[in-house]
Structure 1
Amino acid sequence: MALQQRIRGRQAHAPGSTFLAYTPNGNKLVTVGVDNFCRIYSTGSDDEPVTIDDCQENNSAIVAGDGFFIAGSEDGVVSRFSLERNNMEEMLVRTNGPVRDLALSPDGNWVAVASDDLTVKVVNTRDMMQIQYLRDQPGPVKHVAFDNSGSRLTVSCTDGNIYVYSLSSEEPSMIKKVDGMIKRLESDAEASSKVLWHPDGRAFATPTPTREIQVMSFSDWERQRSFRTKHSADITAAAWSPNGAILATTSSDLTLRLWDASTQTLLHEYNDLKATILAMVWHPTENILSYTNNDGELFIHTDIVPSEHASLLQKSLQPAPFFHDPSEGRAGNAQPKLTNGTKHTLPDRARRAGTPDSLDDILGSDGISDDGVDDFVVDDDGAGYANGYGKRTNGHLGALQNPSSKRRAYSSSSFRPETHEAFQPGSTPWRGNRRYLCLNLVGFVWTVSQEASHHTVTVEFYDREFHRDFHFTDPWLYDKACLNDNGTLFSCQPSGDAPAIIYYRPHETWTTRTDWRTELPRGERVMAIALSESYVVVTTSTNYVRIFTLFGIPLRVYRQKASPTVTCAAWRDYVLTIGNGPIAGDGSCQLLYTIENVKRDEVYQSEDIVALTPHSTLSSVFFSDEGDPFIYDSTGVLLTLLHWRTPSQARWMPLLDTNLLSRLSTGQKQESYWPVAVANRRFHCIILKGQDTHPYFPRPILSEFEFQIPITGPPKEKSEEDEVMEDGDEEKGRKANREKERLEHAFLLNSTLYLQLLDTITSSRPSPHQRQSLSDLEISIDKTLLQMLGQECLAGEDRGMKALEIVGLMKDNNGKMLELARRVAMRYGREVLGEKIGELAERRAAQIEEED
């Protein structure tokens, strides 16, 4: 049966640019044009429209609210009209240049005015004296658009950039400049660069210079899917259907096309247009698209969506067309939890921080909420905890029937511990269609999603003289990777009947390069992988730890005690695994780690606790270039594990708290740090600006920070009093305190590094470099203590006992440093202290002789 289209074309205004707007309820349609009147059409009526004569000529924009509409003209006048009395109520604002576009906030309280002025004015529709000014754009503005909340406004500037403003405070602020997405256009051009906010509020779209409609997610400013419209001329208008399921586009090539938003496929094309469409809007509830053109005509196109696709308009609100939803977990590893064969998602961290008595305010006497959420208890394990109506029964309470026991049973049975999400160290989540699979000091691995069919993977190295970059088409959709000087390790998840795959590709071998792949048992997912100079490590959803040689020989398979598994790391023969353990005081699971030597089959630490602060999470885990374990947590603290080769003696020690960095002391910078590695006794990271949580493209620059054990707070800024007393005794005292803090930090840091290196040398065959480094640390510690001794001697005779304690901390084994310490004491006239140091030297010499 042929589709009968009823297109109602009317000469609404004199030939020329014509614009339109629906009221929020869709009952009225208002048009303006080059003549000096407005017309109001009633939806579904064939009656002549109502005409309002007292308006400006050459109108260029219109918006409509409940009971009113606002029109702007090329003479710079923006006026408010009443739909009840059909007259002009007042002039809201006037601009110096022609008005190019208007945008009305969802609540109808504010109208944004785009004009050839360099400033966008946001005016209160009920009080013209309330005006906000947006000034960050450098040129005239062609379009403006409010987001669904009305708290943000996008400004399409003629310079080809989009400026996003936050209007949630008294003073508007620009929060983002989006460049390279729209075309440079003159403000009076028929082509469009207008931002189209998707109805779900999480993304917007704009026409691009290549005549596509590009979608961008608002939460991470990432380009998502695009509509390849194949228009042969610039796009002049576009509009989302009210539920976001269909996108309509039109162009000066005189075609109008409808697109399925979820698949970006063409649904229907209308190519019988007689003039260029300049504006089009969907009816809020009906299958009607209305549009006006540059010849003064209005078309009310009923049944615009053909019957075979009309069901799309009947759907509920549809999600924006993302490559990858920004709300997904950081590594895509969040999996539904199984309980007796039933899947359910782990709950969010508990939001209530009060005592059990605080339930009294929100629960009725029977333990049921009064706000309509009484049916949240689900009998998911068949144990009879809920009746047929989803209500909680008391049959499981036995003899405990007093009210207090009811409340305790209620809270305990609904409690579920929060497990730590599994993650891959060095990996970032999807942003748009790309993500990093691995970032370290060797190089980085990144992947680009090419729709659902395949990915493209690129491996790049910092030292291109040592290794050559490579890339390949990835039909397996790898989602994890590890990279070192020997090779690259990949893994992908099961899909349908295809199992998870582990793929290792060595960089070079003295024979023909031997890539290898291995499949995991069906249904088993890869949670984290690690690659060392000797082994490949894989942790899976069944809590198995699978260890392979670099040539794919399976060496170990065992079940991890701490579960669910979280992550893993490897270095040479050592493997570190982390999993969820017992419940901590904040309701989350403590993390437990295990370290083993695969070659010797020895376990050094078994299910020991990862030291995290309450409500914090683990961000990364890795071995340093010297082979010591490090972790970086969500609070910005870098910790290392001391004495980890001795069972039950390991402890986590902070080597850097990024919150105390001097670069943050002024409070002017807002930044965080993405951990990459620890090498050369420095923390290597990527600095993230503003609200960014992960690095993105183009390839970020690596930064490094020296270790700074948190002993004191961050440095303070100088006050006015400090400036006045610059040369006084107080200033000298402050300098002495700063020097004292510096020496104490140097002593503690070098002592920690000394203990760490001493453990390494004791447990392995040391290299000459390691022996020399240990000797240098000993000398550095003693020199620092010698300087601290000088400070104490200078401070006075009453510091003698502390000074002697400092000397006792020296590593000196040959007496040279102790002799220097005695001379320092004598130089400052501390004879008694000098004698005590001499006695200490004699005792230590005797002890060394006895040991020999």
Structure 2
Amino acid sequence: MLPSITPPRFAHSEGYTTVAFGHTGQFVCTGGSDSLVRIFHAPKGERDQEAITLEHHTDNVLSLAVSKNKILSGDEEGVILSFDVSSRDPLSIEPSGSVLRSALSARDLSISSSERQVAVAADDEVVRIVSLLDMSLLHSLQGHRAPVTSVSFSPDSVFLASVGCDGSLRVWDMRDDPACVHIDNKITYVCEPGNSMAQTKARWSPDGRLLAVPCNDNGIRLIERNTWEVLASLAGVHTKQVTCLAWSGNGRYVASVALDNKAVVWDVQARKAIDWNPTGNMLAFTDNTGAMYIWDDVVAIDQGHAAPYNKIAMESSSLAGSLKTQARISEPDSKLMSDLFGDAAAVDEMIEEAEMEEDAEILEQGEDTNDMLDDFVVDDDGAGYAEPKAQPWAVLADQQTRSFQPGATPWINSRRYLAFNMVGSVAAVAQDSSYNTIELEFYDKSLRRDFHFSDTYKFSMAALSENGCLFATTSRELANDQSLRELAGSDDEVSVLSYRAFASWSTNTDWLFKLPENEHPRCIAASSHGVAAITSQGMLRCFTLGGAQRHIESLPDRTVTCVANKDMLLIILESAGSIRTASGEKRMEYEYILMTIDGQTRLAAGACPVTPRGEIVWAGFSEEGHPATCDSKGNVRLLHKYWDASDAAWVPVLDTRALAAANGKKEAYWPVAISAKQFMVVTCPQPRKIPATSETHPGRIGHQHSAAADRHADWAARSTAV
């Protein structure tokens, strides 16, 4: 029978879409930029039936995960919802609760084989494992250096694969205490955080022995479980980056789609050319116009090709043996094999036994397996979901504070910003394993000329001021640089601070400071009066512009960021009162310290407010000298009367999300600087939330303000003059 593709069904409005087949192939589930989740009947005779529409999200749906009894969907607001599936005729989909609410977009989801856990990839470097029984946060897997874009449980849930937008792959052993067992930092594409269209997904084969990963040569690599060696590469058809993968039900074929607008089906043993129906010879895919297609009879079975869905009895070495010169199949560390190896019945029996044992343990412990799964309430006033049942709050004691540098971005196509403010920008360009290039660009060309230099230190952060630039590097950067180990005089990992002055007539103004062993910078700041660094040991170190350390003190190891202006240093810390609910929802609280940059005088200190469910993402000083912050909800605040510790107060001056909505624009504002009447930003069209280093230049800086902002700006100008 010849392959055929159904006419498009316009399931969603134009934009990013995601698709997944039901566990039995009975339905196709789609999500789109119109905040809808839609369920289509897959069998040929039932496709004309009306789709089931789930209207419970309030933002773009970015991810779907489907198991035997559940559908999970995640959106750009970070809300993950659960739906119960009844496969009996007629098909029934019912909302069953909210799994997680966070300030970070849910880019990918993966449900464990027992349906008791879900792995979540969001717009940060942490993979979160959430319980589907009580919605508690079970584990936070830390190690990625860039936002995670893909997560995938192996079929037995022993391993979890995750991919970062910096092109790295990590594999985690999820037994007992999760641990990373394999890292490949350069296997796949580097993509821009927040750009769903270009993010890559890695997927396990149905038998759990192979992991398919889009690689940076427009192909796919098949990685063997346990040895983590590349057994085969599927390449030569796609001409651009592969983004999504799906295995056939028996693991014989892999389907892929890429930015070249091609859908390719690969014979794993040979080669032929998005999501598979697990029990049929059909493929479903969606495009960015919002249309959904079903590709029937993908594999030409009548021409002798193996069916993609039959349970084929094969010798266990046949597949891997054809991919390697010598068949070398490692002993599996779990009991899971797939029907590809002829033992699916035994597998199903083992899984059922394991689930029965786990259910028995839960009942013995008196746990309520339905807890939190019956609280799904739709809020019909347009404000979003009604809050679930009140959850007990618990102190965040097991998660390390995430520090950041204002004006810094992740790596995007071998480039990243280390600093970006109204003085100029500092960009790092990766060259090879031995050095990077640092490019400094100034906005006022009449004062300074742009320049660049070779960076053998491979600096990981920078703080730019009118007089010079402070650079720093961490041990993770130095660990792979033998020349720097020799500089340190031993094989110990040593971090450095390096200051470069801009005044060409100055002498002895460039200096380098080596930090003690096992002490590494977390954030740095520079101004015309001095520089400062806060380290992993909780040390605040203050230096003169000439490199003399004039002050050192201990701070709580909860520093989020720091920034300097003239003789002032602003430090933002995560409060010891930051808490979360059992559902994993964070309620972040912050503190601030305002002091002189020589460390001798405390000017003010206290609570640093943030919008509920928000996090501080930028800190700086206004042109008039007021400390300022911006949170992940787009709210900008200035510290009023900072010179009087008893009267200092944070005043809201601008809501950038409301401004964008009022202007009818879907765009994000990346903070750069603030003045009395203007908030200087880089405008990023959604879904991007940070500037692309290849596009951003001083001319792209926007000026966003409103009538309310003008009123606050007038106040700021007057208060500054006092």
TM-score by length of 2: 0.51
1:578 aligns with 2:572: yes
User: Could you tell me how far apart the structure 2 residues matched to 1:286 and 1:704 are?
Assistant: 55
User: Which of the residues 680, 685, 689 maps onto 2:685?
Assistant: 689
Aligned 1:798-813 pairs, distance under 5 A: none
Instruction: State the one-letter code of the partner of 2:630.
Output: Y
Give the 3-state SS of the residue equivalent to 1:291 in structure 2. Answer: coil
Instruction: State the one-letter code of the partner of 2:515.
Output: L
State the partner residue of 1:644.
642
Q: Post-superposition shift, 1:546?
A: 0.6
Residue by residue over 1:665-709, the C-alpha shift from the partner in whole angstroms, topping out at 9 and shown as x without a partner, is 26x422332211013631101223223332223333211123643
1:672 aligns with 2:668: yes
User: Could you tell me how far apart the structure 2 residues matched to 1:456 and 1:520 are?
Assistant: 23
State the partner residue of 1:557.
552
Structure 1 491/104 Cα, relative in aligned 2: closer, same or farther at 3 Å? Answer: closer
Residue by residue over 1:777-806, the C-alpha shift from the partner in whole angstroms, topping out at 9 and shown as x without a partner, is xxxxxxxxxxxxxxxxxxxxxxxxxxxxxx
User: Which of the residues 454, 458, 466 maps onto 1:477?
Assistant: 458
Unmatched runs of 5 consecutive residues or more in structure 2: 10-18, 30-39, 52-62, 73-92, 94-106, 108-149, 155-160, 166-185, 235-245, 254-266, 274-302, 307-317, 335-360, 372-390, 480-491, 581-585
Aligned 1:428-827 pairs, distance under 5 A: 428-431=409-412, 433-449=414-430, 454-495=435-476, 496=479, 497-511=492-506, 514-560=509-555, 562-583=556-577, 588=587, 590-598=589-597, 601-605=600-604, 607-661=605-659, 663-665=660-662, 668-679=664-675, 681-700=677-696, 701-706=700-705, 708-709=707-708, 746=711, 749-758=713-722
Instruction: State the one-letter code of the partner of 1:638.
Output: V
Give the 3-state SS of the residue equivalent to 1:423 in structure 2. Answer: coil
Which structure has more relative contact order (CA 8 Å, sep 6+)? It is 2
Query: Are the aligned partners of 1:505 and 1:516 in contact in 2 as well (CA < 8 Å)?
Result: yes
Structure with the largest fraction of helix: 1
Q: Post-superposition shift, 1:432?
A: 5.9
Q: Post-superposition shift, 1:528?
A: 0.9
Q: Post-superposition shift, 1:540?
A: 1.2
Query: Are the aligned partners of 2:595 and 2:603 in contact in 1 as well (CA < 8 Å)?
Result: yes
Q: Post-superposition shift, 1:650?
A: 0.9
Q: Post-superposition shift, 1:556?
A: 0.9
User: Could you tell me how far apart the structure 1 residues matched to 2:436 and 2:224 are?
Assistant: 22
Query: Are the aligned partners of 2:563 and 2:619 in contact in 1 as well (CA < 8 Å)?
Result: yes
Query: Are the aligned partners of 1:292 and 1:298 in contact in 2 as well (CA < 8 Å)?
Result: no
Structure 1 148/367 Cα, relative in aligned 2: closer, same or farther at 3 Å? Answer: closer
Query: Are the aligned partners of 1:443 and 1:462 in contact in 2 as well (CA < 8 Å)?
Result: yes
Give the 3-state SS of the residue equivalent to 1:303 in structure 2. Answer: helix
User: Could you tell me how far apart the structure 2 residues matched to 1:257 and 1:690 are?
Assistant: 28
User: Could you tell me how far apart the structure 2 residues matched to 1:577 and 1:203 are?
Assistant: 29
Q: Post-superposition shift, 1:502?
A: 0.9
State the partner residue of 1:291.
270
User: Could you tell me how far apart the structure 2 residues matched to 1:369 and 1:453 are?
Assistant: 55
Q: Post-superposition shift, 1:557?
A: 0.7
User: Could you tell me how far apart the structure 1 residues matched to 2:151 and 2:594 are?
Assistant: 51
Structure 1 691/293 Cα, relative in aligned 2: closer, same or farther at 3 Å? Answer: closer
Unmatched runs of 5 consecutive residues or more in structure 1: 1-54, 56-70, 79-91, 96-102, 113-121, 134-145, 153-169, 171-175, 177-195, 205-211, 227-238, 271-279, 317-362, 374-409, 711-744, 759-852
Q: Post-superposition shift, 1:584?
A: 6.3
User: Could you tell me how far apart the structure 2 residues matched to 1:463 and 1:677 are?
Assistant: 15
TM-score by length of 1: 0.44
User: Could you tell me how far apart the structure 2 residues matched to 1:599 and 1:414 are?
Assistant: 34
Q: Post-superposition shift, 1:368?
A: 5.6
Q: Post-superposition shift, 1:506?
A: 1.9
Q: Post-superposition shift, 1:224?
A: 8.2
Query: Are the aligned partners of 1:202 and 1:219 in contact in 2 as well (CA < 8 Å)?
Result: no
Instruction: State the one-letter code of the partner of 2:520.
Output: R
User: Could you tell me how far apart the structure 1 residues matched to 2:329 and 2:718 are?
Assistant: 71
1:305 aligns with 2:323: yes
Structure 1 567/244 Cα, relative in aligned 2: closer, same or farther at 3 Å? Answer: same
User: Could you tell me how far apart the structure 2 residues matched to 1:471 and 1:453 are?
Assistant: 17
Q: Post-superposition shift, 1:570?
A: 0.8
Structure 1 315/451 Cα, relative in aligned 2: closer, same or farther at 3 Å? Answer: farther
State the partner residue of 2:82.
none
Instruction: Quote the RMSD (CA, aligned, Å).
Output: 5.6
Structure 1 456/266 Cα, relative in aligned 2: closer, same or farther at 3 Å? Answer: farther
Residue by residue over 1:353-411, the C-alpha shift from the partner in whole angstroms, topping out at 9 and shown as x without a partner, is xxxxxxxxxx99998634499xxxxxxxxxxxxxxxxxxxxxxxxxxxxxxxxxxxx97
User: Could you tell me how far apart the structure 2 residues matched to 1:590 and 1:655 are?
Assistant: 20
Query: Are the aligned partners of 1:109 and 1:126 in contact in 2 as well (CA < 8 Å)?
Result: no
Instruction: State the one-letter code of the partner of 1:303.
Output: G
Aligned 1:349-498 pairs, distance under 5 A: 369-371=367-369, 416=397, 421-431=402-412, 433-449=414-430, 454-495=435-476, 496=479, 497-498=492-493
Aligned 1:110-509 pairs, distance under 5 A: 124-127=42-45, 129-130=47-48, 215=189, 220-221=195-196, 244-245=210-211, 284=250, 289-291=268-270, 303-306=321-324, 310-311=328-329, 369-371=367-369, 416=397, 421-431=402-412, 433-449=414-430, 454-495=435-476, 496=479, 497-509=492-504
State the partner residue of 1:160.
none
Query: Are the aligned partners of 1:535 and 1:549 in contact in 2 as well (CA < 8 Å)?
Result: yes
User: Could you tell me how far apart the structure 2 residues matched to 1:468 and 1:624 are?
Assistant: 25
User: Could you tell me how far apart the structure 2 residues matched to 1:515 and 1:696 are?
Assistant: 31
Q: Post-superposition shift, 1:615?
A: 3.0
Q: Post-superposition shift, 1:609?
A: 1.6
Query: Are the aligned partners of 1:654 and 1:709 in contact in 2 as well (CA < 8 Å)?
Result: no
User: Could you tell me how far apart the structure 2 residues matched to 1:630 and 1:502 are?
Assistant: 26
Instruction: State the one-letter code of the partner of 1:554.
Output: Q
Query: Are the aligned partners of 1:147 and 1:201 in contact in 2 as well (CA < 8 Å)?
Result: no
Name the larger-Rg structure.
Answer: 1
Give the 3-state SS of the residue equivalent to 1:592 in structure 2. Answer: strand
Q: Post-superposition shift, 1:632?
A: 1.4
Instruction: State the one-letter code of the partner of 2:654.
Output: L
Number of aligned residues: 456
Structure 1 265/510 Cα, relative in aligned 2: closer, same or farther at 3 Å? Answer: farther
Instruction: State the one-letter code of the partner of 2:704.
Output: F
User: Could you tell me how far apart the structure 2 residues matched to 1:513 and 1:489 are?
Assistant: 15
State the partner residue of 1:732.
none
Q: Post-superposition shift, 1:132?
A: 11
Query: Are the aligned partners of 1:291 and 1:298 in contact in 2 as well (CA < 8 Å)?
Result: no
Q: Post-superposition shift, 1:756?
A: 2.1
Structure 1 539/259 Cα, relative in aligned 2: closer, same or farther at 3 Å? Answer: same
Structure 1 307/583 Cα, relative in aligned 2: closer, same or farther at 3 Å? Answer: same
Aligned 1:822-833 pairs, distance under 5 A: none
Instruction: State the one-letter code of the partner of 1:669.
Output: K
User: Could you tell me how far apart the structure 2 residues matched to 1:419 and 1:516 are?
Assistant: 31
Query: Are the aligned partners of 1:434 and 1:448 in contact in 2 as well (CA < 8 Å)?
Result: yes
Query: Are the aligned partners of 2:508 and 2:546 in contact in 1 as well (CA < 8 Å)?
Result: no
Query: Are the aligned partners of 1:538 and 1:547 in contact in 2 as well (CA < 8 Å)?
Result: yes
